[in-house]
Amino acid sequence: MIKVITQDESFLQEVSIDVDLRAEEDIILTKEIIQDLKDTALDVHFNNEIGCGGLASNQIKMSKRIFIIKDKKNHFKTFINPRIIKKSKKMIHIEGGEGCLSRPGKFTIKRRHNKIEVAYNDIEGKKKKATYSGMQSIAFQHEVDHLNGILI
C-alpha cells in the first residue's frame, strides 16, 4: 500500500528497532513493511522529479530496521537489520548534495565512504554480506543513517 512519507523530524530522529525474524508477528509485519516501501518508492519514482533511490521504514512511520535501495538494474533490494561492517578510507559525495524524500527541496553535501562492506538479513532470516561502492554505497549509508535517527 502506498504510504505518506513523513517529515516529522522528532519521529525520524528516533533509532529504529531490530526485526526479530524468529517471531511470526515480526515476520508478517516485515513483509507488509517491505511491500509498503516498494509501493511507496515506485509511486514516488514515477510522480516525483527527483525519483527515489531508497526508502527507510521510519520514513513511512514504521520504526523497524528495514530499508530498500535501488540496485544497478534499477530494482529495489531489501535490507533487514542492516549494518556496515567495513568502510574504505576514501570519501565521496554527490555534486549538488544528497536529497531526502523526508526533507523535500533540501540538498546537503555529505561526505560518505566510497566503499563499504555490509551485513544484513533477508526475509527468510538468512545472514547476507555484500560490498557496495559509489552511488550504492552512498544510498546504503543514507538509509542506515535514517534507521539510526540521523537526518541529512
CATH number at residue 63: 3.90.45.10
Domain containing 78 equals 9-147
Q: Pick left, alpha or beta for residue 70 (phi over 0 → left; psi -120 to 50 → alpha; otherwise beta).
A: beta
What confidence score (pLDDT) does residue 92 get?
A: 98
Closest CA to 114 of 143, 129, 136, 82: 136
Query: What is the spatial distance between Cα 91 and Cα 93, in angstroms, rounded to a whole number?
Result: 7
What confidence score (pLDDT) does residue 48 get?
A: 67
What confidence score (pLDDT) does residue 65 get?
A: 98
Query: What is the spatial distance between Cα 1 and Cα 73, in angstroms, rounded to a whole number?
Result: 23
Q: Domain total for the chain?
A: 1
In a domain, 4, yes or no: no
pTM for this one? 0.94
Query: What is the spatial distance between Cα 129 and Cα 33, in angstroms, rounded to a whole number?
Result: 22
Kindly list the catalytic residues.
143
What confidence score (pLDDT) does residue 30 get?
A: 97
pLDDT over 70 at 50, yes or no: no
Closest CA to 9 of 102, 97, 139: 102
pLDDT over 90 at 60, yes or no: yes
